[in-house]
Chain A
Amino acid sequence: MTTSTLTDSPRPAVATAVSGLTADAAGSAGVACAAGAPDAGVLSRLGAFYRAQSARRERRHDLLTIGGWSLVATSIALYLADGGITRFATLGGAVTAIGIITGLVATALMCLMLVLTARVPVIDRTLGQDRATTLHAQLGRGMVFGLLAHGAFLMAGYALEGKTTPVATLLDLWRTSTDFIWACVALLMFAGVGISSMVALRRKYPYEVWMGIHLTTYAAIVASLPHQFSMSGLFAEGTLARAFWIAMFLATAGVMLAFRVIAPIIATFTHRLTVSRVVPVGPDAVTIEMTGRNLDALEARGGHWLQWRFLTPALALQPHPFSLSADPTDSTLRITVRNLGAGSARLAALQPGTKVAVEGPYGMFTDASRTRERVVLVGAGIGIAPVRALLESTRFAPGDAAVILRASTPDELYLLDEVRALCATKGASLQVLVGPRAGASWVPRSYAGAHLTDLVPWATDADLYVCGPEAWMDAVLRNADECGIPALQIHDERFAW
């Protein structure tokens, strides 16, 4: 059992009073630990495996990025191939052409956005679903602006070409084409979704409001489809461009259907998850244990999160994203949840036998994102749960792993006993930092100024996993950056969305 970090790094004298727990961890010798020096052959194989895994992930990321940009470029290229460039000869034509191109780009972005939220396994395994969702939000801004530009430039361009006013052009089209009316409706809906998304993010609206907002987008997409095919010569019947555009929409819809609807339904019926036990953990948390069949097929591992729908009348409509708090077995899954809101409070009252519908697993807070042999796991508050699960499921040679737990009070050191036992068994060092928050620092005041590399000197050569409250995670990541830990080695799981 290695606890060498405690004696290696300089420790302020005042810290010993609060670090009673750490002394305890250092003192307990009753746990058998992995013997002797790490096996050099195993080490290098593990290292090579993780490096190869990382390289494959980078390649996937490259391909996905190129694919995404290519889709947008293709949408413009279709217009160019149709001779669109000749329109730039006149001012009116150029403005119109810009209007058309912004529409094409916005639509391509829209399809990319949908695919990003479709929980496609390859995207989840490459970007991580939380990064994909963030990217979705960023593209959303671009898309809404693109659509507004599309409308504005087209009206202006048509007005210039027809020697009339944009308002007259608008009324023209309104009177002659119902497809155009629907397109206007769609534009307004998209703008509405964009605005309310920005507002909702600020105010943390309940999940139901988000659902409503996003269902509106589906309606808007459907409303915007007809005018794309009837009002532009680009997608007229018989053209290759039309075939491409239809294929793009069908592929997007297919992907969404497959991974957001069909896969979860199949998972739910195949695995038949049922709540088996609800155990209080600490004063304000519960561990919910579930049993099921063929859970190996889910391919879930410690660190993964899933979308859980407990099928009781009160909870059935609210899916909750929670991380596993232990490595799954073929027949059991476990989550540990803190009572933070009305929804979580009801979870404590769950009865054994309750059926559970599940979507996932998602996230790259797992062994699959490891890039090298050594690993540092940092968790705070209920973020300790996925850290504990990852600790169990990820691989390392004794001495190559360090765990740091942070909490304001000892009550918030969830699953501490389990973490301690795993560290002892697997040969990971454990440091527990307890104390009230000290401003924007990631450590308590007693550790003021401490860097990650002070606590774990080889941290720059390790994978760093961080999970906890938002603001604290930002502080940890800032510190990791200051320590010079490369971005590729940093893995964080955020649940703000």
Chain B
Amino acid sequence: MTTRRNSAALLASAGILATGWSIGTAHGQTLTTTVPATSTTSGTTAGAASGITSGATTYTGTRQSDRWGSLQVTITVASGKITNVTYTTTAGDGKSLSIEARATPTLKSEVLAAQSAQVSTVSGATYTSTKYLTSLQSAIDQMG
């Protein structure tokens, strides 16, 4: 009796673990910066693709979690362009913030162009003093 009972309990538990495992591996995709043509939403949270409002679709990315809290990115896409990016984050103090994030994927052609005539100084990865001599910064410094 007891062995049958324990076997049943073991089987039930194994089934539950297997279900959890498969859900975990099925939802392992992270949000990519390119919007796929066929909309498949990925995410381990309760929200799937939601909010189809006036042609816009919302995609929820996987939640990045660690002991400092967790972070989840949601993007809204309309007509193939990313129109909104939202972060939902919980910090270690339990507060949850939803912030209109502002770092969006940008094509080089969309990046603000530099007007060399206006530039007074150049920021770049640290250069050695030798490399400085052939750098942009040195050219600007010479011109004064």
Interfacial residues, chain A to chain B (CB-CB below 8 A): 58, 61-62, 65-66, 68-70, 72-74, 76-86, 154, 158, 173, 176-180, 226, 229-234, 236-240, 243, 488
Contacts and interface: CB of A to CB of B under 8 A. Distances in A.
Contacts of A176: 68, 92
Contacts of B12: 66, 69-70, 73
Interface of B: 1, 4-6, 8-10, 12-14, 16-17, 19-21, 23-25, 27-28, 44-47, 62-70, 72, 88, 90-94, 96
Contact of B24 (A58, A81, A179, A232): A81
Contact of A238 (B8, B47, B66): B47
Contacts, number: 128
21 contacts: A58-B1, A65-B5, A69-B12, A70-B16, A73-B12, A78-B20, A80-B23, A81-B27, A82-B44, A85-B25, A158-B67, A176-B92, A178-B93, A231-B69, A233-B65, A233-B70, A236-B63, A236-B69, A236-B90, A239-B45, A240-B45
B16 A236 contact: no
Contacts of A74: 16, 20
A237 B65 contact: no
Nearest to A68: B9
A233 B63 contact: yes
B89 to A, nearest CB: 9
Given A179-B92, A237-B96, A73 B13 contact: yes
B23 A70 contact: no
Q: Is the interface of A mostly helix, strand, loop or mixed?
A: helix
Given A76-B17, A78-B20, A83-B25, 11 more contacts: A65-B8, A81-B23, A82-B24, A83-B62, A177-B67, A179-B92, A230-B91, A230-B93, A234-B65, A236-B90, A488-B1
B58 to A, nearest CB: 13
A72 B13 contact: yes
A86 B17 contact: no
Given A66-B8, A80-B17, A238-B46, A233 B24 contact: no
Given A65-B9, A83-B27, A177 B46 contact: no
A185 to B, nearest CB: 16
B8 to A, nearest CB: 6
B23 A69 contact: no
Contacts of B65: 82, 232-234, 236
Contacts of A234: 65
Contacts of A154: 67
A80 B13 CA distance: 13
